[in-house]
């Protein structure tokens, strides 16, 4: 990871430990068994990530303020970054349950960890109750994040603005996640029970989902939080949010690519999950629309099959390469990167040199990352 984000990460990681250590005391007064334990599990889980979203709060602040933060804003930025990472943790914890994933960043997922704990104590039905505890822990991460934003050491107006921005975006993410879940449940003979429309999403539908499920949450939200803490204008916030959408679509396309082509040891989780869950990605959309009849029938037996493994993933990869789809989507990623840089030029021209370089490095990282 780039030096700018690596240096920011350490401060956010320390803030997460400190905050959850303090909050855990309150949780422990409610349940001596689960309170402090839950805070510790969340702190460990959140601290394993790259903390990209949390670091983007600082970037949004500096791009808006045109200088690095002094105290107390520097502390507010770190704490808002910690809140972003707690939001992210809650979403990932729930996502792992929905996707039936048991490994995250090379470690057991949170619900799998709870399952093992319950099993070691001889509790009834550890898989079910482990998932239930994971859902509760994900909820706790959201609530703790909102508490943290409300307590930021900044003006009441800026804290409220940051909290409202986060609340709005998290609601949008929730709906987008629901759409993603329903897309994954579609089968060949499914009929849309929600409205008069096809069940298989169009490419435009998929890009819209990427915009709201990944783009705005991963990039637009933390950049907007930083802008709010800097007292930025609505026009500056809008510029940051639009550039964030471009980067988010790029980021999700890269995620889809890595989910099929990455080295599992580097990725930290099994490759091929999108095949097993029949995720309606643009990779899948273009593949199914271009494959010949026999190949399409074969692919249809693979997508949505929960025991699909290495052989199926290898076949899908081969077809994506053969049909030129991977190359096309690589070009689409580059186009989104160029759009983000073009939108940001007015802010980058007046930002601190290190901040402007960090944004450019972020774009490059989003194109070239391996996990």
Residue 230's domain is classified under what CATH number? 1.10.600.10
Residue-number span of the structural domain to which 186 is assigned: 3-368
Mean of the per-residue pLDDT values for the chain?
94
348-363 residue pLDDT tens: 999 999 999 999 999 9
Kindly indicate the confidence band of residue 264, based on its pLDDT and cuts at 50, 70 and 90: confident
Is the pLDDT at 77 greater than 70? The verdict is yes
**Residue 238 confidence class, pLDDT cut points 50, 70, 90:** very high
Judged against a pLDDT cut of 80, whether residue 1 lies above it is answered with no
Model pLDDT, residue 49: 86
Reported as a pLDDT band with limits 50, 70 and 90, residue 304 is: confident
Say if residues 310 and 220 touch (Cβ distance below 8 Å): no
pLDDT value at 271 more than 90: no
Looking at the predicted structure, is the pLDDT value of residue 105 above 90? no
pLDDT for residue 214: 87
Q: Which of 135, 139, 137 is nearest to 40 (CA)?
A: 137
Give the separation between CA 116 and CA 126, rounded to whole angstroms: 7
Encode pLDDT of 145-193 as tens digits.
Answer: 999 999 999 999 999 999 999 999 999 999 999 998 998 888 888 999 9
| Residue 306 pLDDT greater than 90, yes or no | no
Q: Percent of the chain having pLDDT more than 70?
A: 99
The number of folded domains in the chain is: 1
Q: Quick check: 297 pLDDT over 60?
A: yes
């Amino acid at each position: 990871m780039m030096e700018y984000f690596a240096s920011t990460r350490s401060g956010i990681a320390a803030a997460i430990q400190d905050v959850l250590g303090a909050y855990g005391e309150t949780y422990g007064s409610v349940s001596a068994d689960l309170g402090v334990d839950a805070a510790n599990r969340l702190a460990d889980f959140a601290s394993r990530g790259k903390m990209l979203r949390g670091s983007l709060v600082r970037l949004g602040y500096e791009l808006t303020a045109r200088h690095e933060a002094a105290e107390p804003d520097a502390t507010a930025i770190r704490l808002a970054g910690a809140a972003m990472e707690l939001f992210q943790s809650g979403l990932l914890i729930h996502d792992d349950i929905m996707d039936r994933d048991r490994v995250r960043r090379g470690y057991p997922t949170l619900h799998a960890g709870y399952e093992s704990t319950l099993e070691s104590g001889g509790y009834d039905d550890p898989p079910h109750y482990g998932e239930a505890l994971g859902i509760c822990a994900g909820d706790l991460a959201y609530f703790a994040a909102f508490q943290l934003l409300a307590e930021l050491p900044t003006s009441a107006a800026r804290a409220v603005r940051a909290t409202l921005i986060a609340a709005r975006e998290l609601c949008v993410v929730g709906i987008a996640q629901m759409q993603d879940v329903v897309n994954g449940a579609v089968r060949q003979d499914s009929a849309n029970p929600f409205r008069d429309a096809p069940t298989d999403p169009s490419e435009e539908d998929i890009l819209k989902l990427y915009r709201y499920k990944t783009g705005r949450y991963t990039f637009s939200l933390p950049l907007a939080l930083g802008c709010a803490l800097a007292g930025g204008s609505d026009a500056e916030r809008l510029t940051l949010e639009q550039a964030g959408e471009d980067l988010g679509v790029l980021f999700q396309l890269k995620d889809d690519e890595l989910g099929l082509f990455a080295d599992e040891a580097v990725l930290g989780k099994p490759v091929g999950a999108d095949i097993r869950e029949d995720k309606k990605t643009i990779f899948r959309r273009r593949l199914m629309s271009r494959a010949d009849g026999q190949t399409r029938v074969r692919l249809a037996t693979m997508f949505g099959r929960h025991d699909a493994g290495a052989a199926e993933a290898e076949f899908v990869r081969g077809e994506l390469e053969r049909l030129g789809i991977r190359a096309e989507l690589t070009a689409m990623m580059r186009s989104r990167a160029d759009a983000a840089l073009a939108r940001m030029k007015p802010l980058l021209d007046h930002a601190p040199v290190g901040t402007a370089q960090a944004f450019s490095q972020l774009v490059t990282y989003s194109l070239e990352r391996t996990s």
